[in-house]
Chain A
Amino acid sequence: MAPIGKPAGWEAKRSQALALGLAPALVVLTVITLGPAVYLVVTSLTPLNLVNPQSALDFSHPLGNYRDALTDTRFLNSVWVQIELSVATVVLQIAAGLATALLLNAHSRFLEAIRTAFLIPMVLPPIVVAIIWKVIYTPDVSPVHRALAALGLPLASLIANADSAIWAIVVADSWEWFPFTMLMTLAALQMIPSEPIEAATIDGASRLQLFRYIVLPYIRPTLVVCALFRLIDSIKAFPLIYVLTNGGPGTATEVTNYYGFQQAFNFSYWGYGSAIATMMVAGVFMLSSIIGRLDQRLGDNA
């Protein structure tokens, strides 16, 4: 039944007006987002090699690139490296961001100044961050290496060692991006009402209990969003790897994104590169969905 005072076709007309208003934006979105995405998927079904542009229309083996990927040891290795890098960076950034936010969650001019200083890495251009860490990790010019050597504790190059190279990237990436989690968490912390904390304090709850039973449930959605953002961003990791290790030593830091870039832009295998990119997009969607459901389930159980 139509609401009193509104003509029967009012809702329909309102919907039409909204659709009409949204149409230009939707058209633009379709052209600039969906169009390239569809082209990516279509290209992934061809063996397109820029040396042979006619291969753009060769759909004789549409799943050939995907089959190749399943037997490509470098691709499979890159997926594993990607998982290592993503898990390590997300966990470290959430932990560091949360810890820093808890420490800085107070009103004082000094802490506000520190908060601003912590934001610097995040606002630096990624390539600048990469160059800073290149200097830190290059033994003959690094102040860290020199200081340790002066103390009689020479340190082998971290980016030239297969065991430590990935962790060198993790540390650099976390330094750059933990302020994002810190900022989001700080905002969430400041939105927590004071009443439940005061009540629990009066009831004798310890600081750990306050955090576990009051603070964490409040900020958990924020942490999940941060984790999701950082997870997606970690899959796009590029400048640090490009500048610091070039995927090496060997393939120790060759993540899927970087491998796909090489296949497409260095070797002109656009079909294969598109297949890798398509699989990455699918992977990100799946992960987002899983994390979203996990959060929902945790929320229901809370």
Chain B
Amino acid sequence: MRKPVDQSKTPCIADDQHKPHDSSLSLTRRRLLAGGAAAAVGGATAASGFPYISRARAADKPLSGTTLNVSCWSAPYPKYLADYIPEFEHATGAKVNYETPSFPIYNQRIDIELSTRGTAYDVLNITFIYAGRWIGAGWFEPLDGFINDPKKTPAEWDAGDFLGGTTATMKDSKGQLYGIPWIADVIMAGAARADLIHKAGKKMPDTFDEVTDVMKAVHNKDNVPGFIIDNHYGWTWIPWLQGFGGNVFRDPPGDLMPTLDTPEAIAAADFFANLLTSYGPNGVISYTYDQVVAALKQGRANYSPNNQTFLVQMGASDSKVASTCDFSLFPAGPKGRFPAVSTHAWGIPIGSKNKDAAWEFIKWAMSKELIARMVREKGYTSITRRSLIEQPDFRQKLMINGRDVARIYLDTVELGAKGYMKYRTVPVYPQVDKEIDIAIQNIASKQKSASDAMKQAQANSLTQLRRSGIKL
């Protein structure tokens, strides 16, 4: 892999503090002039997303000679970020090797890299579904030391500004933070053809019972199937499971005994599979998320409880349903409302040789100034800083057909902070996730009854967990 950069050539504030004597700190005429120039550059750069770097040390390009290797899976925010990275390089002198492979490629590549304590990367995305595994295995550096050190992070950077629901999954059992969340994706509900719902005398469903009621009323009206959801059921089904009073594990993350064969889980699986088979389009269990988004935007399906990032695309200018779509909170089940909240975050792998420089990059990438620019210049909406979400111009951006989607978003993230997403932060969740996918497909394709499918999911999950060395 790439050659690690010599740490001695990567000055940073912290390192500077520990140097017994640095002749470069002595006051010279040249340095004064440079300082003046720095003040000018700093003033300009503060507005562009890296005020802290610029204020402290823009004059001498503090990261000059440092190469940062940064990787994140391909999504709107990392793509937008690529356009701003030259500014970071210019201000700091660092060279940034930046890559954004596809989601599965990224996860497989980084999983192997992290497991070997590799030194190839300095800043990595902590993928939500792997957060428990990667953090739990000690493959990422805790960030509290950086955040709480005023020499490394000024108070105005405001780490507390990030929504609680987004940082919750990036903490270990001791409460240490490992990632700065760059996205909060929440499950809400959207209807591509809300006009058909209104025409049937109904409103956006707010409970599971209302979902069934509305589906009966609108399914195949105007040749539009009533219900659609993507086939990653280990993600999309869990809010229904929890709404019925069930959970994936008995008491995660401490007690990881799977609870997929409980009466609540069987009832939830049966209810959900019935929605798929009775109101879904032909072949609904083969639909991946991109197909779901396309179907919704084309008006080929109507109601979908799904990720906010997918659903808001119905309001985009290239959508055929921009004028008929509507949104709501994820509906409540008999035991409450449990919309899923997922987060991806920037972290520093334990093997990085440039941890301080990596933190400078994360701080810059997640600064209020840069995120505000992304919102303004790129239209980015899945942001994690409350202060920006609360701003009127941002709220206006997410006002679609009179519906305040930003309010739904904030309310959902707040719900997510209650702790019901802990099931997803355990290292072995991907194994159980797959068993859930299989079980729901077995039920919806009539291969098994809900009871048999969930019992099999329970047995297979136990096998998988034992294989991973977990004592149950």
Contacts and interface: CB of A to CB of B under 8 A. Distances in A.
Interface of A: 47, 49-53, 55, 68, 72-74, 137-140, 145, 154, 156-157, 159-162, 244-252, 262, 265-269, 272
B229 to A, nearest CB: 13
Given A160-B445, A269-B468, A138 B283 contact: yes
Interface stretch (B74-82, B150-158, B430-438): B430-438
Given A248-B438, A249-B445, A266-B434, A139 B283 contact: yes
Interface string B94-118: 0000000000000010011001100
Task: Please report whether the interface of chain B is mostly helix, strand, loop or mixed according to DSSP.
Answer: helix
B112 A50 contact: yes
A51 B438 contact: no
Contacts of B463: 68, 72
A52 B469 contact: yes
B313 interface: no
A80 to B, nearest CB: 14
A268 B469 contact: no
A82 B27 CA distance: 75
B467 A51 contact: no
Given A49-B468, A50-B112, A251-B438, A267 B431 contact: yes
B38 to A, nearest CB: 45
A50 B133 CA distance: 10
Contacts of B438: 247-248, 250-251
Contacts of A157: 282-283, 286
B449 interface: no
A138 B284 contact: no
A159 B286 contact: yes
A266 B430 contact: yes
Interface in B274-318: 281-286, 291, 295, 300
Interface of B: 108, 111-112, 115-116, 133, 136-137, 231, 281-286, 291, 295, 300, 427, 430-431, 434, 437-439, 441-442, 444-448, 453, 456, 459-460, 463-464, 467-469
16 contacts: A49-B467, A72-B463, A137-B283, A138-B283, A157-B283, A159-B283, A160-B282, A248-B231, A249-B445, A250-B442, A250-B448, A251-B442, A265-B108, A265-B111, A267-B430, A267-B431
B283 A74 contact: no
A160 B133 CA distance: 32
A51 B291 contact: no
Contacts of A154: 282
B467 A249 contact: no
Given A138-B291, A250-B442, A250-B445, A49 B469 contact: yes
B460 A74 contact: yes
B454 to A, nearest CB: 13
A135 B121 CA distance: 38
A258 to B, nearest CB: 11
B223 to A, nearest CB: 11
- Lowest 4 CB-CB distances: which A-B pairs, in order? A157-B283, A50-B115, A250-B442, A249-B445
B22 to A, nearest CB: 40
Q: Which of B111, B438, B453, B460 has the most CB of A within 10 A?
A: B438
Contacts of A73: 456, 459-460
Given A50-B111, A140-B295, A249-B441, A269 B448 contact: no
A104 B453 CA distance: 50
A72 B453 CA distance: 16
B111 A268 contact: yes
A47 B469 CA distance: 9
A140 B133 contact: no
Contacts of B437: 246, 248
A52 B115 CA distance: 8
A139 B282 contact: yes
Contacts of A140: 281-282, 295, 300
Given A50-B111, A51-B133, A267-B430, A162 B445 contact: yes
Given A138-B286, A140-B282, A51 B468 contact: yes
Nearest to A266: B430
A249 B444 contact: yes
B430 A161 contact: no
Nearest to A263: B467
